[in-house]
A and B are shown apart, each in its own frame.
With several copies, the nearest count.
Chain A
């Protein structure tokens, strides 16, 4: 199981701040997006949305997520 965290307006699109997903094994980002509803998966594919895996910023390219991981989707920040 992995935990997906959605920040900012993505939480509205997801209908929740976090979702849990069960994977068959280590999975690339593309497979995770395919498992989500299209109205959410579409915006998540936007390269302006940054990713953090287990609290560390990571690149989209080649990203693999495994059971127990937390993957956060971070839209552009709107400041303090």
Chain B
């Protein structure tokens, strides 16, 4: 880890709704997290989730995400707060890994619970677009034993422009 230590879990409230926003420095179990989130949001009719995982079969042996502690989690929290003001949600979960991951490991889990499914879809989509292009993570991958940094993708910025 290049960055200083930082609390890996923090809860905050916007409009009396708690978002659960975490920067995970160790592997997490997305199925268990989603089960817990769903069980905690039984008043919501629908839960949309996005799980990003390290792909298998691309020859990528490992992926490392580095972060900068003073900015990364606060940025994720600000993103959650923005999603809560834009859509009517019953619950919002954002977990993002940092550190070294191998194929099959979960990188990011976003879940939104809402009475109306359109809100849950939009909030999840919005959070992913912003996590991908605006959050403070730097990514490199190991292929054939060599690490190489991943450049920002133009596609991510096009995705982001959808929300302006």
Direct A/B contact, Cβ within 8 angstroms? yes
Main SS at interface, chain B? mixed
**Inter-subunit contact B131/A79 (CB<8 Å):** yes
Per the bound structure, the CA–CA distance linking A54 and B52 in Å amounts to 31
Which of chain A's residues has its CB closest to B98's CB? A80
Give the residue of A8, A9, A55 whose beta carbon is less than 8 angstroms from that of B70. Answer: A55
Per the bound structure, the CA–CA distance linking A9 and B140 in Å amounts to 9
Give the residue of B66, B135, B150, B151 whose beta carbon is less than 8 angstroms from that of A7. Answer: B66
Interface centre among A9, A56, A78 (most CB of B within 10 A): A78
Per the bound structure, the CA–CA distance linking A55 and B84 in Å amounts to 25
Name the interface size band of chain A: 20 to 34
Which of chain A's residues has its CB closest to B149's CB? A9
Residue-wise, chain B 128-141 has the 8 Å CB interface mask toward A (1 for contact) of 00011111111110
30 contacts between A and B (CB under 8 A): A5-B2, A7-B136, A8-B66, A8-B140, A11-B66, A18-B2, A52-B68, A52-B70, A55-B70, A57-B71, A72-B70, A74-B68, A76-B152, A77-B133, A77-B134, A77-B135, A77-B136, A78-B138, A78-B139, A78-B150, A78-B151, A78-B153, A79-B139, A79-B150, A80-B52, A80-B65, A80-B108, A80-B132, A80-B135, A80-B137
